[in-house]
Structure 1
Amino acid sequence: MAAMKQRGAPQPNYVLNFPPPMPLNARDNSTSKVMERFKKLQPSLFSNISSNPLQPKRWICAMERTFEVLECTDAQKLICAGFQLQDEAAAWWKSTKPNLEVTHPNPTWEQFKEAFFRNFFPESFRDEKEAEYVALTQGSRLVLDYQQQFKDLFHFAPEYLRNDAWKSKKFEKGLKPEISDMLAILDIQSYAQMVQKAKLWKIG
């Protein structure tokens, strides 16, 4: 009888605390794994300025396309970029990195780009491109083509034209008058929104 009572007694309600299931799309974004995926993409190398003065810009653009796939942090971007620098460029980064970290303890990709372009674009070339940027207008081109050249030249923009509101206003003023006049009424302060609105005009 005692045994039957024991069998019929309520059992303790044990709750097992299993960890939540890992999302199916979860990725290991540790630096070692990011580097592993980075190498598989076979990104281009950079050593110095070639006969084409736009080569530094093209290398940076290629790296940024790679980073879009990897979804990595700024610190990982700098590690990956440093891995692709060779010869003169590698020596430049070895001496520049400690100085950059003094002013920016956790340097960003944008800060790396500023230092990189400052070194690998000749001053005369930067001055020429800055003048092109200041004078840039849409002309007879499509808005999309104008926006692409605006984007290419923006790095050479004077310091006072670098914040988002000024960038938006510069883009607006360079559009065809029939487009810029209409967009001026909207008083758009965001560059991204300005580009989006401009592309909606069939006239562009």
Structure 2
Amino acid sequence: MRQQGEQIGKLHEMMARQTAAATSMPRDPPTPVAPVAPPPAMAAAPVTAVPPAASGSSAPIPSELGAEKERSLAALTTFKRFNPPTFDGDVKDPWTVETWLSAMEALFKDIYTLEKDKVRLAAHCFEGSARMWWDQARKNRSLDTASVTWETFREMLLLEYFPDSDRRKIKENFRKLKQGNRSVREYEREFTHMINCVSDLVHGDRDRAEVFEHGLRPEIFKTVHAFRLKTYEEVLDRALWVESGNAIARDEREAYKREKDREKAKKRPAGGSAGQSSSKRPPRPQRS
């Protein structure tokens, strides 16, 4: 027990000396830490501004192109379903050309064809020499079918298939054109037919109205002229109205005349021997 106490005491003394030595030793000052320089500022990369897309940009979107192709195909399918007349151009006859153009225009109206589709659809009806002419005309003029108006197309076709000799002849006949014994509608058809073939026969709607009016029969012209109408449609409508009124009046006059003739026939005495005997006087008695 005694030895253990001595050992414990020695341990306490060693611990005390170590503590005193640690306290008496000078402490090294802390090593200064060099300041860290901030990284150099990086120059901002230039950013190229992207302008917004213009609202009126003409560049078509792929989806729009697809929709337009489908619409064009549907228009062509509808057009072909009505079996439109073909045109081969083998004979250069103005009446044939004008008749074909009129048939096209009537069909366009019936199926509500858009203006931008008319030339493209009509060109599908070309055959033979007409097809060759159209292909060559497009190449020579660098034409895009979608940009050609119907009026331009009509003029090009008539210019190609309408000889100058026929044009001059129509102009001469137009100056002499009168209604005569025809109906107003028959006169109007030939009048319009000539103008469609030669567009410079009249200059504007007012001129067309005046020329048509002066070609009417005198009894119709007198009434129509009194109204001082300004447009061709008004003149044509009034001429048809006057003609109808004249026809009704004529029918009434003829019916009245027939009725009078029947009344006269009833009042007329019956013919034959009976009529003759009744008109004679009785014989006189003989004297004795």
Which of the five TM-score ranges fits, normalised by the shorter chain?
0.7 to 0.9
What residue in structure 1 maps to residue 205 of structure 2?
Answer: 164
What residue in structure 2 maps to residue 44 of structure 1?
Answer: 85
What residue in structure 2 maps to residue 8 of structure 1?
Answer: none
Q: Deviations over 1:91-127 (max 9, x none)?
A: 222233463859xx94321221111111111111111
1:81/1:100 CA distance change after superposition, 3 Å: farther
| Structure 2 CA distance for aligned equivalents of residues 52 and 120 of structure 1 | 6
Matching residue within 123, 127, 132 for 2:164: 123
Larger radius of gyration: 2
Gaps of 5+ in 1: 1-28
What residue in structure 1 maps to residue 184 of structure 2?
Answer: 143
TM-score by length of 2: 0.55
Name whichever of 45-54 and 93-102 sits farther off. Answer: 93-102
1:193/1:96 CA distance change after superposition, 3 Å: farther
Gaps of 5+ in 2: 1-69, 248-288
| Structure 2 CA distance for aligned equivalents of residues 66 and 201 of structure 1 | 31
- Is the CA contact (8 Å cut-off) linking 1:74 and 1:108 kept in structure 2? yes
What residue in structure 1 maps to residue 150 of structure 2?
Answer: 109
What residue in structure 2 maps to residue 9 of structure 1?
Answer: none
- Is the CA contact (8 Å cut-off) linking 1:49 and 1:56 kept in structure 2? no
Shift of 1:53: 5.2
Shift of 1:52: 5.8
Secondary structure, counterpart of 2:182 in structure 1: coil
- Is the CA contact (8 Å cut-off) linking 1:100 and 1:107 kept in structure 2? no
Q: Deviations over 1:63-111 (max 9, x none)?
A: 1221122111222110011111122212222233463859xx9432122
What residue in structure 2 maps to residue 195 of structure 1?
Answer: 236
Residue identity in the other structure for 2:241: L
1:144/1:100 CA distance change after superposition, 3 Å: farther
Name whichever of 87-96 and 73-82 sits farther off. Answer: 87-96
What residue in structure 1 maps to residue 102 of structure 2?
Answer: 61
Residue identity in the other structure for 2:132: A
What residue in structure 2 maps to residue 70 of structure 1?
Answer: 111
1:52/1:95 CA distance change after superposition, 3 Å: closer
Matching residue within 213, 216, 223 for 1:182: 223
Residue identity in the other structure for 1:31: S
**Could you tell me the percent identity over the aligned residues?**
24
TM-score by length of 1: 0.76
- Is the CA contact (8 Å cut-off) linking 1:134 and 1:157 kept in structure 2? no
Residue identity in the other structure for 2:186: D
What residue in structure 1 maps to residue 134 of structure 2?
Answer: 93
| Structure 1 CA distance for aligned equivalents of residues 231 and 90 of structure 2 | 34
Residue identity in the other structure for 1:131: E
Shift of 1:30: 2.7
Report the count of equivalent residues.
Answer: 175
- Is the CA contact (8 Å cut-off) linking 1:49 and 1:55 kept in structure 2? no
- Is the CA contact (8 Å cut-off) linking 2:180 and 2:217 kept in structure 1? yes
1:168/1:34 CA distance change after superposition, 3 Å: same
| Structure 2 CA distance for aligned equivalents of residues 100 and 132 of structure 1 | 37
